[in-house]
Amino acid sequence: MRDMCRAGPLLCPGLNESDVHQVALTIDNGTQVPFMDKTYYCQIFDLESHMTIPGNYQIIAVEPVIDNAQVLHHIALFGCDDVQPASPAPFDCGVFPSISCHTFITIWTIGSSGDCFHPDTGISVGSGGFTKFAVQLFWNNPSGRDDLLDSSGVKIYYTEKRRPYELGLLKIGHESFLVPPNHPTVSFKSTCTSVCTKSLFNGTVYVTMAWNHMHYIGKQMQVQVLRNKTDIQYLTFDPIYNFDSPQIHVFQEKPFQLYPGDEIITTCIYNSQDLSWTTPWGEATTEEMCYGFLVYYPKENALKTSCVTLGPDVNYCDNSTFHGCSDLQRFSSPFFLSDADFYQDILHNCRTFSPCVEECTNTIVQLKKNDPCFQDELFDFIKDQMLNTNPIGQDMMARIASCQRQVDSVFNISRNTRT
């Protein structure tokens, strides 16, 4: 199916100018795709060694070089610090190629032709900018084949005719969610709040391109901008989303303006009615994502490269999204947990995976009634993202689990009484 979904050529008027050069950065020929389900593979390049004449340039477009579309999920390009040496061969890497290669430049996903930058924008390379780049491939090999090869990468177009503005890429959306099976419509919302954009933007940001990114059960997606709590505009709207053919929303003639204090709302809708299993958030195409990508200028007007939410729309840049749990960010610390009154109460009254005792039930019921951190979706999020990462958190969950049935019974009786 992926071979059928290859995009057409990159249409970019700037490439016809006489002073435009190009260089291909592809991982070594004959690189074997690991038999694992999902793998990040990277190679780091010294761009100047690939240039005919080193100098001060700007990148104006990036095009994918696709070798094996059967396993390739995406290609990311990162700018690296000058201290980073080029790698002699591709290597197994993580979400970031290395500690020195952390500046996200652009990303290609299935169905895209590449990026043609706004005519007033570029990314500085050479003597005035990045000299080292990391190409990162994400392979999806769910069948575990060990006979696959790939040498994909990117083709970079650059010019010495400098443009006025530096380009940036902003990621928005939602992480850490589960899509239940057998549902025609499952919706998740992510809010980059006005508090967050006030700390994120130090001036007007001009968006020139935007696109949505989900996987195969993605049904519909949109990014809206709410201004002054009244005026709402669409940055993207894909009423029928297709992973293999993403829609690029272009604002070349009139860039979309984002201001500090705007609220950016991302909504992702999924259709899982043909599935009999839960789909988790994740990188593999058998998992799901909910991201919007915004290409903008000037780069210096955004102080970070992402504004994403977790769980029940929690955003760490705005504690009003903590659902009343003022200690939310501290739950991952074993030192905080060991000294917390609630843990001491649980430690004193509850046993790990043992027959439930009444004092344990009473302790947990009171916590769930009176402490916002222990309520509903937020506590599920705390358990998943924080408690299971340290021994004290795991001990606390084991003690709570000893009386889970009895606690559920108390709240079910309470709900039935009210109705």
Domains delineated in the chain: 1-166 (2.60.120.310), 167-322 (2.60.120.230), 330-418 (no CATH)
pLDDT of 174 reads: 97
Closest CA to 220 of 289, 187, 269, 281: 269
Q: What φ, ψ does residue 198 adopt, rounded to 5°? A: -65, -35
Distance CA 193, CA 191 (A): 5
pLDDT of 376 reads: 86
pLDDT of 226 reads: 97
Calculate mean pLDDT across residues 345-364.
95
pLDDT of 414 reads: 55
Distance CA 107, CA 114 (A): 8
pLDDT in tens, 23-74: 999 999 999 999 998 899 999 999 988 887 888 999 999 999 999 999 998 8
Checking if the pLDDT of 231 tops 70, the result is: yes
Distance CA 60, CA 15 (A): 8
pLDDT in tens, 106-119: 888 888 889 999 99
pTM attached to this predicted model = 0.82
Distance CA 46, CA 37 (A): 30
pLDDT in tens, 119-129: 999 999 998 89
pLDDT in tens, 314-334: 999 999 999 999 999 999 999
Closest CA to 292 of 183, 361, 211, 404: 211
Structure tokens at 1: 């199916």
Calculate mean pLDDT across residues 229-238.
93
Alpha-carbon separation of residue 13 from 61, 228, 268, 334 (angstroms): 10, 37, 33, 56
